[in-house]
Amino acid sequence: MASKASNLASWDFSRIGGVAALGFVLVILGSNGVLVVSGMPQPGTDIADSSTYFSNHAGIAEFAWACAPVAFVCVTLFGASVAALLREHERADGTGWSLVGLAGLIMQTVTFAAITAIRFTLTAIPDRGSAVAGGLWTLHNALFIGNGVFLALAMLGLSVGGLRAGILRKWHANLGFTSAAILFAWTLLAPLQLDQRSPLGLIGLVGWLLWVVWVATYGVTLIRPARR
């Protein structure tokens, strides 16, 4: 065990961040995959239908809650490693794009912690059809869609910073810009999605999938010494 700890301590911090990025992707794909298969209600779903889901799938919500801390640790290590790497370049030209990206990752982590907590609360609240449950579900939906802004900030900052530093390839940065634009537009359309289910959710899904690919590719970039 001591030998393994020593080996980890000797790793380059960027490499640790790259492994963490891949771990984050695996965790969120796995946990969200389980939620989707179980029929997790989408934003705008009627409170009665969402209450039925949480009543019948308490174990699924608890599983997602258990996965969340692992994802939070991984994404924080990823963001810190990228910021540390990019700051070496940004100090020379007086920019701070990496800080914008890191702030976005921190805010999305805090927001999703609240989302996960609300889901867990909805499985335990005594009267799931009450006004309190309805208010919690509406808050959940608003936070879920609003989180797109923070993901957009993360990709904007870390894509611009990585491109300027010569760490990212142009296509990778453009992938981040595209996903950021999609998620930002999706968030702006939140008022059309909170009261009823809307096909606009597909926009958010596309942006989220591009975000996952962007993170995974960034992780591989950090692991490969040639790119760093």
pLDDT digits (tens, 9 = 90+) for 36-79: 888 888 887 787 778 778 878 778 777 877 888 999 999 999 99
Least confident of 73-82, 131-140, 145-154, 216-225: 131-140
What does the pLDDT read at residue 85? Answer: 92
pTM attached to this predicted model: 0.88
What does the pLDDT read at residue 227? Answer: 52
Sequence spans of domains, the chain: 12-223
What does the pLDDT read at residue 220? Answer: 95
SS3 sequence of the chain = CHHHHHHHHCCCHHHHHHHHHHHHHHHHHHHHHHHHHHCCCCCCCCHHHHHHHHHHCHHHHHHHHHHHHHHHHHHHHHHHHHHHHHHHHHHHHCCCHHHHHHHHHHHHHHHHHHHHHHHHHHHHCCCCCCHHHHHHHHHHHHHHHHHHHHHHHHHHHHHHHHHHCCCCCHHHHHHHHHHHHHHHHHHHCHHHCCCCCCCCHHHHHHHHHHHHHHHHHHHHHHHCCCCC
